[in-house]
Structures are given as structure tokens and as C-alpha cells.
Amino acid sequence: MTNKRKISILGSTGSIGTQALEVIEKLKDKFEIIALSGGSNVELLRQQAEKFKPKYVCIGKDTNQKIRIEGVEVLYGTQGLEQICSNKENDIILVAVSGKIGLRPTLTAIENGIDIALANKETLVMAGDIVMARAKAAGVNIIPVDSEHCAIHQCIKDISQVEKLIITASGGPFLKKSFEDMKNATVSQALAHPRWNMGRKITVDSATLMNKGLEIIEAHHLFNMPYDKIDVVVHPQSIVHSAIEYVDGSVVAQIGLPSMHIPIQYAITYPERFEGIKSKSFSFSQIARLDFEKPDYEKFPSLNLAYSAGKTGGSATVCLNAANEEAVFAFLDGKIKLYDIYKITQTMLQNHNIIKSPTIDEIFAIDEEVRLKTRELI
């Protein structure tokens, strides 16, 4: 990059967002930050703004907190996010908010021809057809941050020669636990992920393997790959981040330490590469072994639920995402057991009337309706 790349981060106060700022700090001469946005952690947002001196910050969640930072314009709410994503000064926007809040700003950035580093998987699960079609029409790059998709992005040279995608899953904290232990797990057991330190919602999804389910849908949209050509393999060490098999039987995998700094850096510097925080830290001789096994679909039925919703398509994945998220929140609030997340999501999907090609407004309406009904069911 000869000139500094101008970047904004939506969700800079989250797990991905804070790691992205660590990457940028290491590559300070490569980036200029246009905007940072947080949800309700206003104090952290202020500290980030004072350190990184963006032009704008946005306090995303409705809150009465107002802040003043010298030289920084403060924006608020979804309108603020829209303003950031309409600002054509940006070369790239990292969408690292959690949940459905990521969808509209992503579409706005696409409309404005701004490339996207996409962490927020809900955007593709809810509206992958629309998002990818609009990005293609606008000539906008969507570079995946999710480590598996980032791995696949690095492996693919020519998608037309790819036979299948092989997505790895760590298996989460219950891989070696009994079905009974998993069903009745406490919140702290579900949050104790053996490999990755992430936000709470995605960590619970990793314990049920719904995260892998959402990733199958994400991969389907990103790489335009039919669901029967997307496999999942459990790989507890999280060293192989995913792989692809070419038509000639050659398999190409991307490997590295389990650290989100690497995929975040890849996505925001693409197509260039630079020495980063985790450079020179990988050693084959320090890896004792790599294990692989088939996922246990009976113990982790959420994975099949996601395959089935993905294949159904249309609003099914909107329903899947909304019902699962509400159930995860209820689990985190201590209202239901871990296994109930699956049962509730399954019931919601069974009762859902599919709309084949929903518009964005319909997607949000369905999302709201499903959430309401899921809360009633809970």
C-alpha cells in the first residue's frame, strides 16, 4: 500500500474490533482510521478515539451517554453507522458488530462502492443472496474475516476448479463430554471455549456447533458453492483453518496458529501482506499432532438444522438466525438449558412459512416476528 488505507471499524469495542485495532497499531504507517463505532461501551470507545484519532466515532446503542473528544465528531445510533458507511473517503470498512445490526450498514457501504472486511456472519445468513449480488454488481470486494472463510479465500485460485469446501470445527467445549453433560451445561461451561476467545453469543454457538452451521451458510454465499459440496470436519487443535478440494483430488489447506489477528490482518490488507503481530510464531515441530473426525450430528443437531435451513433457502435462514439468537440470549440469562436452544430453533423453523426471495424490508420484518414468537415460546 503506497498511500495509507482509509478504514472504519464498526464494532471496534468488541472482540474482533479490539484485535483489529491491535493489528492496525502494529501497521500504523499503513492505515488511517476514518471512524470507530461501539455499542454501549462508551468508555472504551473514548479511549480508542483518544489513541487512534479517528474523524468520527459512533455510539451505536441507544444510550443517554454523550461524549466529547477533541477533534472527533460524535455520531449516534444506526443513523451514525449509515453516515460512516456512506462516507466515500473509506477504502474499506470492517464490519465487526454482532447480530443483525451489521446488515444495513454493509449494504450502504456496498452502494457506495466501499470494500468490506466482513466478520459479521449474520449479514450473509440473513441476506446472503442480496448482499453478494449487490456487491458483485457494484464491483465491491467482500473479504471474509471469519477464520474458516478467510482460509478458503486464501486457498482458492479458480473457484470453477473447486470440487468442495472443507470447513474445520474445533468441536467446542463439549466435544469430549457426554450428551447428558452437554444438555445440562451451565453458562460458564458453555463459555469456556478451548481455543478461541470470542464474544459471548458466538461462543455459545460454538458450543452447540450452530456457529459451524452459520458458517456453512456463510460459505455457500461467499463462494457460491452448493450445500452438498460443503463438508465439516472436527479438528480440535484449530491449526488447519479450513481446506478446499480441487477437481483433480488435490487438497489445499490454510494453517496457522489459532489467532484472529491473522485473518483480520489478511482481510484489511488484502491483497497485500505485511509482517504482523503473529508473524514468525508458527512452528511445525511444536505441533505434536493434528486430529480430524466426523462431527457427531446426533450430539450436535444444530449443524443439520443449519444445513436444512440453508438448502431450503429464502427466509428459512432468517428464521434460523433469529430463533437461535433469541434462544442463546435466553440461555445466557439462565432461562433455558443449552439443548433447549436447538429444540426452540427447530420448532420455530418447523412453524415458519417460507418466503422464497424476501426483500431487505421483509427480512427485517420476518426477523422481528420470529424473535417475538421465539420469546413467547421460551
Q: Which of 260, 268, 319, 327 binds ligand NDP (CB under 6 A)?
A: 260
35, β-bridge pairs? 8, 56
* Binding status of residue 218 toward ligand NDP by CB under 6 A: no
CA 199, CA 114: separation in Å to the nearest integer? 26
As measured in angstroms, the least distance from the Cβ of 40 to ligand NDP is 4
The distance from CA 301 to its chain's CA centroid, rounded to whole angstroms, is 21
By CB under 6 A, which span of 6-14, 159-167, 176-184, 363-371 interacts with ligand NDP? 6-14
As measured in angstroms, the least distance from the Cβ of 94 to ligand NDP is 10
* Binding status of residue 16 toward ligand NDP by CB under 6 A: yes
How far apart are the two ends of the chain, measured CA to CA in Å? 51
Q: Which of 57, 127, 198, 216 binds ligand NDP (CB under 6 A)?
A: 198
Q: Which of 34, 84, 96, 175 binds ligand NDP (CB under 6 A)?
A: 96
CA 146, CA 360: separation in Å to the nearest integer? 23
As measured in angstroms, the least distance from the Cβ of 148 to Mg ion is 5
Of 16 and 162, the one with the shorter C-beta distance to ligand NDP is 16
* Binding status of residue 154 toward ligand NDP by CB under 6 A: no
* Binding status of residue 121 toward ligand NDP by CB under 6 A: yes
Of 87 and 147, the one with the shorter C-beta distance to Mg ion is 147
Size of site (CB under 5 A) for Mg ion: 3
CA 4, CA 52: separation in Å to the nearest integer? 14
Of 85 and 145, the one with the shorter C-beta distance to Mg ion is 145
Q: Which of 4, 26, 196, 362 binds ligand NDP (CB under 6 A)?
A: 196
The distance from CA 228 to its chain's CA centroid, rounded to whole angstroms, is 22
As measured in angstroms, the least distance from the Cβ of 156 to Mg ion is 17
**Cβ partners under 8 Å of residue 303, min gap 6:** 209, 210, 212, 213, 216, 232, 295, 297
By CB under 6 A, which span of 85-93, 114-122, 225-233, 237-245 interacts with ligand NDP? 114-122
Distances (CA, A) of 26 to 76, 146, 263, 268, 270: 29, 21, 15, 13, 16
CA 149, CA 375: separation in Å to the nearest integer? 32
**Cβ partners under 8 Å of residue 147, min gap 6:** 241, 242, 258, 260, 262, 263
Q: Which of 115, 122, 325, 367 binds ligand NDP (CB under 6 A)?
A: 122
Interaction mask 33-52, ligand NDP, x per CB under 6 A: -----xxxx-----------
CA 215, CA 241: separation in Å to the nearest integer? 12
DSSP letters, 69-85, are: BTTBEEEEHHHHHHHHH
By CB under 6 A, which span of 117-125, 153-161, 169-177, 282-290 interacts with ligand NDP? 117-125
By CB under 6 A, which span of 95-103, 156-164, 279-287, 361-369 interacts with ligand NDP? 95-103
* Binding status of residue 236 toward ligand NDP by CB under 6 A: no
* Binding status of residue 146 toward Mg ion by CB under 5 A: yes
Q: Of all residues in this chain, which one has the CB nearest to Mg ion in the complex?
A: 146
Torsion of CA 18, 78, 150, 216, to 10 degrees: 130
Q: Which of 53, 164, 187, 199 binds ligand NDP (CB under 6 A)?
A: 199
Handedness of CA 272, 274, 278, 279 (dihedral sign): positive
Q: Give me 262's grid cell.
A: 491473522
Of 101 and 232, the one with the shorter C-beta distance to ligand NDP is 101
Angle at 107 between CA 103 and CA 109, to 5 degrees: 115
* Binding status of residue 238 toward ligand NDP by CB under 6 A: no
Distances (CA, A) of 237 to 255, 266, 288, 303: 11, 21, 10, 20
Contact call for residues 309 and 220 (beta carbons, < 8 A):
no
Of 13 and 170, the one with the shorter C-beta distance to ligand NDP is 13
* Binding status of residue 115 toward Mg ion by CB under 5 A: no
- State the residues that interact with ligand NDP by CB under 6 A: 11, 13-17, 38-41, 60-61, 96-98, 101, 119-122, 146, 196, 198-199, 202, 260
- State the residues that interact with Mg ion by CB under 5 A: 146-148
